[in-house]
């Protein structure tokens, strides 16, 4: 069993972070503190919880520049973009604070003479948040803030690739005066995580990651009868309808495919274009893709950084190789992106045509800067292909006809359906998925329902 985590920066392969994994005694102490603190924290008035969590968010944002650089060095996203994730963390947290009172108030039932009846929303206890590296703040905040506001305590286990994010969030909460034990973090390997999930003190697990990781979480929690939220993979589709505004569709979808080097669960991987627009769409998408600058993410001019590690780049190249062997064509010349070469985490963007659903590129998750484009004959054909996937996180249609968008959206198997946008998360809406994308929901008022349990009160006031 490994005794420490070592984070290698994808920028140059150098060691960036080294931390010891938590010992068994440290894990036990963390669980005890969380369970003990939760009993007092749940009794703190909601407005006070809102105030201290709001203060923690402000402390966090005040350190934006350092946090942004830490994200870039740990996982490779260009520094020009990482401050936006700090801002997104704050925006989501502030929204969940703003709706907390309404979302957590008791559910009132029809009056009945001589009785007081209502359904309270009780905290589930200790919440374990397991966060990934690709959006290390945005994935974590989705459960951390509403869990704390609901009266739970939280233990955060972050990816070994982005351990500093856990530490930086913790520092902000300490600076805000959050009571000891209310928010903690642990650095753990997979074996220790599984044992932690089995601990009696854990009342809910919020996991974001791979399908394989989600299965591991379910197996570890089996028989414990606790809630488990799973936000897993995706290979999200978009449909460019014949009436779409073409320039907008191209600009939005190319960004949706390549932002964060394609390492987004809700990034666009499959594009279906109405036959009448297909050639123009492909030509413009290729021209826009060629404008990307693949380079050191600390450089101001870089718009496409490395993927997270060389092994991940190898997986992308394997999927690309399979597609090419089956007849796909890549319209982007890799030689135009000098850093892209085997044995490195730097991968050139790829725009693939002559693709089909017999290729992993179009039927599995590929966490890299690649996208496949197919022509379709119309709405029915597009819907059939959009639904031909083991995943279902988001899907998008580009059209000027809202009624058509709603009609298509009702038939597409997905957690979120967009019109004229993609690769976005609105904290006022539930973030959820279908099929192998997982189960449960975060954010919105519905997110609070998964971090609380109903408790019915039936009081006979007249005897």
**Residue 180 pLDDT greater than 80, yes or no:** yes
Q: Which of 4, 24, 85, 231 is catalytic?
A: 231
* Residue 433 pLDDT class (50, 70, 90 cuts): very high
Mean pLDDT rounded to a whole number for the chain? 97
Instruction: Judge contact between 274 and 240, C-beta under 8 A.
Output: yes
What is the rounded average pLDDT of the residues 191-209?
97
* Dihedral sign (CA 56, 60, 63, 67): positive
Q: Tell me the CATH number for domain 236-424.
A: 3.40.309.10
* Residue 453 pLDDT class (50, 70, 90 cuts): very high
Question: Measuring CA to CA, how many Å separate 385 from each of 377, 419, 438?
Answer: 11, 17, 20
In what order do the strands lie in the sheet containing 394-398? 329-330, 350-353, 370-376, 268-274, 236-240, 394-398, 416-419
What whole-number distance in Å separates Cα of residue 245 and Cα of residue 327?
30
**Residue 304 pLDDT greater than 90, yes or no:** yes
Residue 334 annotated to the active site = no
**pLDDT attached to residue 354:** 98
What is the rounded average pLDDT of the residues 442-460?
98
**pLDDT attached to residue 2:** 80
How many percent of the chain have pLDDT more than 70? 100
What whole-number distance in Å separates Cα of residue 462 and Cα of residue 295?
74
**Residue 12 pLDDT greater than 70, yes or no:** yes
**Residue 307 pLDDT greater than 80, yes or no:** yes
* Residue 416 pLDDT class (50, 70, 90 cuts): very high
Instruction: Judge contact between 217 and 197, C-beta under 8 A.
Output: yes
Six-digit token string for 305: 């950084």
This prediction's pTM: 0.97
What is the rounded average pLDDT of the residues 228-252?
97
Q: Do domains 4-231+435-460 and 236-424 have the same CATH topology?
A: no
> Per-domain residue ranges for the chain?
4-231+435-460, 236-424
- Count the Cβ atoms, other than its own, within 10 Å of residue 115: 13
**Residue 139 pLDDT greater than 70, yes or no:** yes
**Residue 315 pLDDT greater than 80, yes or no:** yes
Instruction: Judge contact between 3 and 21, C-beta under 8 A.
Output: yes
Class of domain 4-231+435-460: alpha beta
**pLDDT attached to residue 242:** 98
**pLDDT attached to residue 256:** 98
Q: Which residues contact 110 (CB under 8 A, 6 or more apart)?
A: none
How many percent of the chain have pLDDT more than 90? 99
**pLDDT attached to residue 1:** 66
What is the rounded average pLDDT of the residues 337-342?
96
């Amino acid at each position: 069993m490994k005794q420490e985590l070592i984070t290698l920066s994808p920028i140059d392969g150098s060691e960036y972070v080294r931390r010891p994994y938590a010992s068994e005694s440290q894990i036990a102490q963390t669980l005890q503190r969380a369970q003990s603190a939760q009993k007092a924290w749940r009794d703190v008035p909601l407005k006070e919880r809102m105030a201290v969590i709001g203060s923690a968010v402000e402390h966090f944002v005040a350190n934006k520049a350092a946090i942004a650089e830490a994200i870039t060095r740990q996982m490779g996203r260009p520094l020009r973009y990482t401050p936006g994730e700090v801002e997104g963390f704050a925006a989501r947290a502030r929204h969940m604070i703003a709706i907390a009172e309404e979302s957590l108030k008791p559910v009132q039932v029809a009056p009945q003479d001589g009785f007081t009846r209502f359904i309270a929303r009780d905290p589930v206890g200790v919440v374990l948040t397991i966060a990934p590296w690709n959006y290390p703040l945005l994935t974590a905040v989705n459960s951390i803030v509403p869990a704390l506001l609901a009266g739970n305590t939280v233990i955060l286990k972050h990816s070994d690739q982005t351990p500093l994010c856990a530490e930086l969030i913790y520092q902000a909460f300490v600076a805000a005066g959050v009571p000891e034990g209310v928010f903690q973090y642990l650095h753990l390997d997979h074996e220790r995580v599984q044992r932690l999930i089995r601990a009696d003190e854990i009342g809910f697990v919020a996991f974001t990651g791979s399908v394989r990781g989600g299965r591991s979480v379910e197996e570890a929690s089996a028989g414990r009868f606790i809630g488990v939220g799973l936000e897993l993979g995706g290979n999200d589709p978009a449909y460019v309808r014949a009436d779409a505004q073409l320039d907008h569709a191209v600009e939005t979808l190319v960004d949706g495919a390549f932002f964060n080097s394609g390492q987004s669960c809700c990034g666009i991987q499959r594009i279906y274009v109405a036959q009448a627009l297909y050639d123009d769409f492909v030509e413009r998408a290729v021209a826009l893709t060629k404008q990307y600058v693949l380079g050191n993410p600390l450089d101001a001019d870089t718009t496409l950084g490395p993927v997270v590690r060389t092994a991940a780049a190898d997986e992308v190249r394997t999927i690309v190789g399979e597609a090419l062997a089956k007849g796909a064509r890549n319209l982007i010349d890799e030689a135009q992106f000098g850093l892209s070469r085997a044995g490195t985490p730097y991968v050139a963007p790829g725009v693939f045509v002559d693709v089909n659903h017999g290729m992993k590129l179009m039927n599995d998750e590929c966490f890299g800067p690649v996208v496949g484009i197919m022509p379709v004959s119309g709405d029915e054909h597009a819907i059939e292909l959009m639904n031909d996937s083991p995943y279902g996180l988001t899907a998008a249609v580009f059209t000027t006809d809202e009624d058509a968008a709603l009609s298509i959206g009702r038939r597409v198997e997905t957690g979120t359906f967009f019109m004229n946008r993609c690769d976005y998360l609105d904290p006022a809406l539930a973030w959820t998925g279908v099929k192998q994308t997982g189960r449960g929901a975060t954010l919105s008022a519905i997110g609070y329902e998964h971090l609380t349990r109903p408790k019915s009160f039936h009081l006979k006031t007249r005897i």
